[in-house]
Amino acid sequence: MLHLARTLAHRLVLLSRRRARPDPALLGPLPGGEEHVRLRLAVAGDVGHPSAELDATVAAIARSMEHVPLDGLVLLGDNVYPDGDPALVHDAVLAPFAPVLEQGVPLLAVLGNHDVQSGRGEQVAAQLGMPGRWYAERLGDVGFIGLDSTRPEDPRQRAWLEEELAASTSAWTVVTLHHPPYSAGWHGSDRAVRRSFEPVFRRFGVDLVLAGHEHDYQRSLPQGTTTYVVSGAATHLRPTARRSFTAAAWATHHFVDLRVVGDELLLRAVDHAGLVFDGVALPSASRTDSMSRPAVG
């Protein structure tokens, strides 16, 4: 009943947010400090090829930590190009991200198609500190779930996901995976991932799904209760496009800044100069006044 109430309340909020415009208050320079930041994550995707562009992405994240520390670094798969050699995890991930990780920031990663290409996904996951190919963490008010989108039709994963979401009491649920259920980019939407997971996301009122795979930035219009974001441009870049479900699409190197501030989950896309080019505020579905107050984004 709790999940049903959350889902219904969140759907009413989203009716007033269908245009999903970026929140003007979130654009511009990334804030050096905000009051009441209860959680902060940095998110990057498709990082597995060291390059000057990746170094610039890491530098932007590190600079942002000078005033507001991070509670986690989220990597959205394709961590080790070209084929997921566990021996390359240090050079592909741990060394480039040392300016962040050496400050004690926990690493929260998921597997991508390149990470499992040689059949050694478990070893790559272990090197990245993942507890399994899919897992869950409680990060303050956020229920964090990492899925293995290279195995979307594995019945064990779906059963586990349903059990995990059914037991959750988090104010927000954030799911991370590699292949995007909604994408207007080079690869397009992954239909197998959408078919397997979206009904579960809708049933339990998942707030945010973060994916990589596409070397761009995209944010969807809310699909049911869920906003889908693609962030795969930490090192490589490709042109992107728009579809009927698109709210924002940029071919820009970036990372995603995710914060719980007050009673909102704030998502900002941040370029190498530290400028926010897209942002959206996701209110907690349990907030009592959210049904009457139009929400931006």
What residues in the chain have per-residue pLDDT under 50? 1-19, 286-297
Could you tell me how many residues make up the chain?
297
Cα separation of 32 and 132, whole Å? 35
Q: What's residue 35's pLDDT?
A: 66
Cα separation of 170 and 88, whole Å? 36
Q: What's residue 19's pLDDT?
A: 39
Farthest CA pair distance, the chain: 53
Do residues 42 and 100 touch, judged by C-beta distance below 8 A? yes
Please report the domains of the chain, with CATH numbers, ordered by start residue. Answer: 2-12+36-283 (3.60.21.10)
Q: At what angle do helices 191-204 and 155-167 cross, to 10 degrees?
A: 20
Cis peptide before 82 (omega within 30 of 0): yes
Q: What's residue 28's pLDDT?
A: 77
Q: What's residue 10's pLDDT?
A: 39
Number of alpha helices (DSSP H) and beta strands (DSSP E) in the chain:
7, 14
Do residues 144 and 138 touch, judged by C-beta distance below 8 A? yes
Alpha carbons within 13 A on the beta-carbon side of 239: 1
Q: What's residue 2's pLDDT?
A: 40
Angle, vertex CA 35, rays to CA 71 and CA 252, nearest 5: 60
